[in-house]
Amino acid sequence: MSTRSTSSDSAADFTSRATTALARLIAAGHRPAALVGSWFGYRAVLAANVELTACDSTALFTSPDPNAWLFGFRPYSGTSAHGIAACVALLADDGTWHFDGPGTGDPSNPDFQALQETIKYSHENTRDDALPAATPLEWDQGDRERHQLAVENCKEAIAAGEVYQTCISTRFHAELNAGSGTNVDVDNAALAHAGAWFSSRVARYQPARAAFLPGNLDAGIPILASLSPEEFLIRAGTSVTETPIKGTIPAGRPPNELLRSDKDVAENIMIVDLVRHDLGQVAKTGTVKVTDLLSVRPAPGVWHLFSTVSAELPDQLSHAELIEACFPPASVTGTPKLRAIELLREWEPEPRGAHCGAIGAAHGDALELNVGIRTAEYTKDPNSGRVRVEAGIGGGITIGSTPEGEWAEIEAKAAPLLLES
């Protein structure tokens, strides 16, 4: 069932509407999930409350209710989690909100009531200064020396014929000063900070595949605030696309430089071949096609090279089976994939966690996931109770890479996350 909201506005300020609504729900004591940018044919998908629970990756995005909306994630390392939303609000291109899900239209459903009240508020308060400000975080500088050593190790492995390229990641760390109090106070403070951090950056940078999940810190499930520009899997029935990003220059440089860069073009094409292989494991024979190759598009702080691969799937293939065949995303591993993953474990000093995993939602036979890059991950130390915030940033390494150039790329990608916290 789907209904239409009674008010209508221009789509020009859809981002402000969605982020204002998210911040309002958190302030009212809810634990919302949000997808902002381009999701399921809408500008935003918003749920008032989602209780995330850990699940095996084979059960991810599986529900007995075909009308249910499931939000969740599969981390690069760690345990998957998902949760059902009673109903969702969907922001269309013309600025109108629609409702969908089992609880839609039920005046006694508290989530449906919360969404209605929040949408009314967002129509009346869409200024950027209406968003709450996140307390600044003091981020560390990242391990530049270790990252540059990993680049050198990768180039040696390429020269030896072990791999053709890999994606090397580094992590930045901060600690949230949530004040003293009970665990519930700390959790709510972390959720409020994450919501404010996410909302302000989405409003400013408008990433294409932004996602927010409320987590469950006591259960070891992180709060995720993702500014990802990258699609992982976009499924509608038996049709699926994957759009890897490979190739990056800072936003201040002419975008056509990317197409003149042998290093960036080669990086992208190698990953396109890997995506074709991943999808080919489960696709109908002869249906895997490259539908877009080497498109230059903007992302927060940078220009990227995008390519798109499409395929047709068997009718009975589950969402979890599709994810399993393609996971981890090709663009954040390397070629050949299995050897690249083995080497990355040796070169990177910390597990990636949610970074480079997949975040999104499923509804019936539709599934949409981003690649969990440019993502802040809030976790709680089980001993001290203090909240840590981590952000992983990575980049593709080829034989033409230099340690200095790769660190400059890390800094350009990290700036929207780490500056003006």
Residues with a catalytic annotation lie at: 230, 246
Among 49, 44, 45, smallest CA distance to 85 is for: 49
Distance CA 411, CA 418 (A): 9
DSSP state, residue 198? H
The helix or strand, by DSSP H or E, that contains position 4, with its residue range, turns out to be strand 2-4
Instruction: State the number of CA atoms in the 13 A half-sphere of 14 facing the CB.
Output: 26
Tell me how many helices (H) and strands (E) the chain has: 8, 21
Please state whether beta strands 358-363 and 334-335 pair in parallel, antiparallel, or not at all (unpaired).
Answer: unpaired
Distance CA 296, CA 194 (A): 30
| Chain centroid offset of residue 77 CA | 15
E strand spans, 270-343: 289-299, 302-312, 334-335
Q: Contacts from 378-382 at CB under 8 Å and sequence distance 24+?
A: 378/176, 378/190, 378/193, 378/194, 378/215, 378/217, 378/222, 378/223, 378/224, 378/225, 379/217, 379/220, 379/222, 379/353, 380/186, 380/187, 380/190, 380/217, 380/218, 382/220
Q: Counting every residue, how long is the chain?
A: 421
Q: Decide: residue 66, CB within 10 A, 0-12 exposed, 13-18 middle, 19+ buried.
A: exposed
| Chain centroid offset of residue 224 CA | 8
Tell me if the bond preceding 132 is cis, omega within 30° of 0.
Answer: no
Distance CA 315, CA 327 (A): 20
| Structure tokens given for 53 | 């629970």
3-state secondary structure of 173: strand
